[in-house]
Structure 1
Amino acid sequence: MSRIAVVLKGYPRLSETFIAQEIRGLEQRGLEVLIVSLRHPTDPAIHAVHREIRAEILYLPEYLKDDPARVAAGRAFAEALPTYPALREAFARDLARDQTVSRWRRLGQACVLARELPADIDELYVHFLHTPASVARYAAMLRGLPWAFSAHAKDIWTSPQWELSEKIDASDWGTTCTGANAAYLRSLAADPKKVELVYHGLDFSRLPAPPDRSGRTGPVTILCVGRAVEKKGIDDALRALARLPGSLDWRFEHIGGGSLTKRLKTLAERLGIADRVVWRGALSQSEVLEAYRAADIFVLASRITRNGDRDGLPNVLMEAQAQGLACLSTRVSAVPEVIDDGETGLLVEQRAPDALAAALARLIEDAALRERLGRTAAERVRARFSTDPGLDRIAALLTRRRAAAAA
């Protein structure tokens, strides 16, 4: 039986539960998968869904200097293939526009992948259109295989248009997880129909019904789940918290790793709110679920960064809604696709701590509003964002060549 090679930047990753959820869903639909990872894991834990995945994992050399013998063998293998001249021509065009060490690393990883890809692989499917898609595209060219992509957020909005256009055109098909993403990618494609909108959704079989929050006493718990990186706007959330009236009783919890954690802790101290802020670091999915259920408000102050990076449709918002949390976020990217302002949560403009503070104060003071927003959000997210339709569609796309050949 043939297999699909799923190419990822890193595996497993706590922040990419949606990818693990998708791989497990494809396995449950009868697809055989090989996971190809450009990097080894760095997170201290894994989610329960990672333990359920049966796929083998092939780790490529993260840096070419890490395994020179393996890289040399890959290059020798590639250079002996009849497809190599076409690859070199394509690579030369890319290198002329992107003269970086990273570009050479992608070529080296692709040669290793082409050599080590098992014979039963008949298609490559890559998550993220930037680095992983370059490796998948080059390897697919060498092996004469079709390849497809799933595009998300940073990979779209920080990549040059020429690269996105050429990758879409070279691919067999592609999906993306938000309407905003789909419109943009289709505008760059020679054949816009190649790009389909497929929401990740949530596996609600793993999630309990929302808890009863009535009768709770003590400080209102405000939760944020997300990596401590610029696009999450956690510093804006901290500045908003510091602007709240002193009469309000609240505590803030952050879950997630990230390079800005130390700087954010310093900011909380400077703002005089450090005694109300808890930094919990990266946690497992079960621990995050417990935090949703214990919280009263969820906040994610997403924003567009200087290099164009932004969130797509954050799974954490859907997870929080599924647990009946009143959610507060910003009008960035696809966030309005899951939060209907005033109906299933509250939205403010990005980079606006004053507006964020006003909305937070409103939610802290009005338990009935929190209950209404959370209840409506839980109902709608379960109706609109189940994983099953998306998984069914991706499975159909990944098997359609075989189905056509068998017809």
Structure 2
Amino acid sequence: MSRLKAGPSIVLLYTTFPKISETFLQRDVAALQAKGLNLRIYSLWGGGGEFRGLQVRSFNKWRLLPLFLFEIPWQCVRRPRLIRDLFEGVFTRAAPSWLNFWENMLGAGFAGCFYRELQRDPPALVHGAWAGAPATAGWVWWRMFGWRYSSGAHAYDIYEHGGDWWLMEKLQHARFIHASTEAAKRELVERGVPAAKIQVIRRGLEAFPPLKPLRPVRSPLRLVCVARLVAKKGLDHQLRIYAALKQAGFAFEARIVGDGPLQDSLLALAAQLGVAEQVKFLGRLEQPQVWEQLAWADVLLHTGVIAPSGDRDGLPNVIPEAMSAGVLVVTSPVSATTEAVQQERTGLVCDVDLPLAWQVALQRFRDDDLLAERLRAGARRWVEENYDAHRNTDRLVACFEEAMKP
């Protein structure tokens, strides 16, 4: 295992790292590492081990026992105002959900368990990748020691059940806030976060794949969806779109990549709608296998919706990945997807409640070579201009460096 580089250290906090469904975070760390930053990585829930020669410290939850028995009573004596504020916040307002309650408790517990370790070599900056548990830990350390911290703020943090329980307190004192879409920035500004504090820095690809040729004959049309099987992905709508295509005699093959809690109900719905033979559920795949599915596909479908909990996508990374490879994209107009998939410029946009609109869009992709090539070229340009990991990481590094200044 390689030794950490000399110089001020940045502590990176994740809920679970590395995680197969969050490859964009792994790309971020790899790019930051390539810039020579001195990184210390902690994973609060799962994950751990080693990533590209860097140790990923995991959180043994048994450490919470002495925290509650000894550390919290001691801190009540030593830092009564902090403890009072924490308990007042807990008992004077309801958490948006039990999950978010425990996420924040996890972050606070982690901070209480690890602060002595970090005191031996205080970080120049603590960065929470998410505004939930990771940012809670950074905020608690700021309250305890004045350590600088910054935070990500992404769709889940902002929208799920109306947003994280302590979102505004954590963002108020962050040195900067990393959002990955303009939609997230607009929402935070509407809630009172100063616009100047929010840095919209998209994720990115370390290298762009070759643009694959357009298949000269696209019938049956090859359709792919890469998504977790959760409500915000709108996959029940997508299956109804497939059913409408079949009823219209439209030849297609569809593959859905991903797993999740709705798998059984979606398989049952596919059978009920009579599209089980046309639609294959491939389960969760490793990233190289996802790229193989994009190489196979003519079109990527994204049928994102606003879930009953309020959760929704920002800009799913698979969309610019598909655009970079030459896969045509049709998406619903929910959240930030249309920042990349711009109607008639880089792709097509359709309402999930209008299956006929999707049928027309897919017919155009199948039959109109000029349209397909124009959109593929526009999509590739957008990705090269907006989704270059090296350029975007340079901006993130600049934010870190500015945040670490005295």
**TM-score, structure 2 length as denominator?**
0.88
Which residue does the alignment assign to 2:83? 88
Q: What CA distance in whole angstroms lies between the structure 2 residues aligned with 1:74 and 1:231? A: 42
Q: Is 2:41 the counterpart of 1:38?
A: no
Q: Could you say what secondary structure the match of 1:333 adopts?
A: coil
Q: What CA distance in whole angstroms lies between the structure 2 residues aligned with 1:80 and 1:53? A: 40
Contact 2:107 2:137 in 1 (8 A): yes
Q: Could you say what secondary structure the match of 2:253 adopts?
A: strand
- The Cα of 1:175 is off from its aligned counterpart by 1.6
Contact 2:229 2:235 in 1 (8 A): yes
Which residue does the alignment assign to 2:181? 178
Q: What CA distance in whole angstroms lies between the structure 2 residues aligned with 1:80 and 1:309? A: 36
Instruction: Calculate percent identity across the aligned residue pairs.
Output: 27
Query: After the TM superposition, which of the residue ranges 52-61 and 283-292 deviates more from structure 2?
Result: 52-61
Q: Which runs of 5+ in 2 are unaligned?
A: 1-6
- What are the residue-to-residue correspondences of 1:36-185 with 2, within 5 Å? 36-41=42-47, 53-61=52-60, 64=61, 66-69=62-65, 71-72=67-68, 75=71, 79=75, 82=78, 84-95=79-90, 96-98=92-94, 102=102, 103-117=104-118, 119-158=121-160, 159-160=162-163, 163-185=166-188
Identify if the C-alpha distance between structure 1 residues 238 and 190 changes in structure 2 by more than 3 Å, giving closer, same or farther.
Answer: closer
Q: Could you say what secondary structure the match of 1:223 adopts?
A: strand
Q: Is 2:374 the counterpart of 1:372?
A: yes
Q: Could you say what secondary structure the match of 1:26 adopts?
A: helix
Identify if the C-alpha distance between structure 1 residues 104 and 22 changes in structure 2 by more than 3 Å, giving closer, same or farther.
Answer: closer
Q: What CA distance in whole angstroms lies between the structure 2 residues aligned with 1:78 and 1:28? A: 41
Identify if the C-alpha distance between structure 1 residues 53 and 140 changes in structure 2 by more than 3 Å, giving closer, same or farther.
Answer: farther
Q: Is 2:226 the counterpart of 1:225?
A: yes
Residue identity matched to 2:180: C
Contact 2:156 2:163 in 1 (8 A): no
Identify if the C-alpha distance between structure 1 residues 74 and 335 changes in structure 2 by more than 3 Å, giving closer, same or farther.
Answer: farther
Q: Could you say what secondary structure the match of 1:328 adopts?
A: strand
How many aligned residue pairs are there? 391
Which residue does the alignment assign to 1:317? 319
Contact 2:222 2:252 in 1 (8 A): yes
Q: Which runs of 5+ in 1 are unaligned?
A: 43-49
Identify if the C-alpha distance between structure 1 residues 401 and 166 changes in structure 2 by more than 3 Å, giving closer, same or farther.
Answer: closer
- What are the residue-to-residue correspondences of 1:270-289 with 2, within 5 Å? 270-289=272-291
Q: What CA distance in whole angstroms lies between the structure 1 residues aligned with 2:380 and 2:193? A: 39
Which residue does the alignment assign to 1:338? 340
- The Cα of 1:215 is off from its aligned counterpart by 3.5
Identify if the C-alpha distance between structure 1 residues 187 and 329 changes in structure 2 by more than 3 Å, giving closer, same or farther.
Answer: same
- The Cα of 1:160 is off from its aligned counterpart by 4.2
- The Cα of 1:331 is off from its aligned counterpart by 0.8
**TM-score, structure 1 length as denominator?**
0.87
Query: After the TM superposition, which of the residue ranges 290-299 and 70-79 deviates more from structure 2?
Result: 70-79
Q: Could you say what secondary structure the match of 1:251 adopts?
A: strand
Identify if the C-alpha distance between structure 1 residues 98 and 109 changes in structure 2 by more than 3 Å, giving closer, same or farther.
Answer: farther
- The Cα of 1:145 is off from its aligned counterpart by 0.7
- The Cα of 1:112 is off from its aligned counterpart by 1.2
Q: Could you say what secondary structure the match of 1:393 adopts?
A: helix
- The Cα of 1:51 is off from its aligned counterpart by 7.6
Q: What CA distance in whole angstroms lies between the structure 2 residues aligned with 1:260 and 1:105? A: 26
- The Cα of 1:5 is off from its aligned counterpart by 1.0
Q: What CA distance in whole angstroms lies between the structure 2 residues aligned with 1:238 and 1:208? A: 30
Contact 2:63 2:113 in 1 (8 A): no
Contact 1:81 1:142 in 2 (8 A): no
- What are the residue-to-residue correspondences of 1:170-249 with 2, within 5 Å? 170-189=173-192, 191-203=194-206, 205=207, 207-216=208-217, 219-244=220-245, 245-249=247-251
1:31-89 C-alpha deviation (Å, 9 max, x unpaired): 111111121139xxxxxxx986333212124xx5x44445458835972895x334213
Q: Could you say what secondary structure the match of 1:242 adopts?
A: helix
Q: What CA distance in whole angstroms lies between the structure 2 residues aligned with 1:12 and 1:197? A: 23
Identify if the C-alpha distance between structure 1 residues 329 and 162 changes in structure 2 by more than 3 Å, giving closer, same or farther.
Answer: same
Residue identity matched to 2:317: N
Query: Once superposed, what is the RMSD of the aligned Cα atoms?
Result: 2.6
Residue identity matched to 1:202: L
Q: Could you say what secondary structure the match of 2:124 adopts?
A: strand
Residue identity matched to 2:40: L
1:187-245 C-alpha deviation (Å, 9 max, x unpaired): 33353311121121322x2x321212334566321000111111111111111010014
1:134-166 C-alpha deviation (Å, 9 max, x unpaired): 233123322431110111111111244873322
Which residue does the alignment assign to 2:30? 24
Contact 2:50 2:56 in 1 (8 A): no
Identify if the C-alpha distance between structure 1 residues 296 and 104 changes in structure 2 by more than 3 Å, giving closer, same or farther.
Answer: closer
Contact 1:11 1:37 in 2 (8 A): yes
Which residue does the alignment assign to 1:262? 264
Which residue does the alignment assign to 1:45? none
Q: What CA distance in whole angstroms lies between the structure 1 residues aligned with 2:363 and 2:50? A: 41
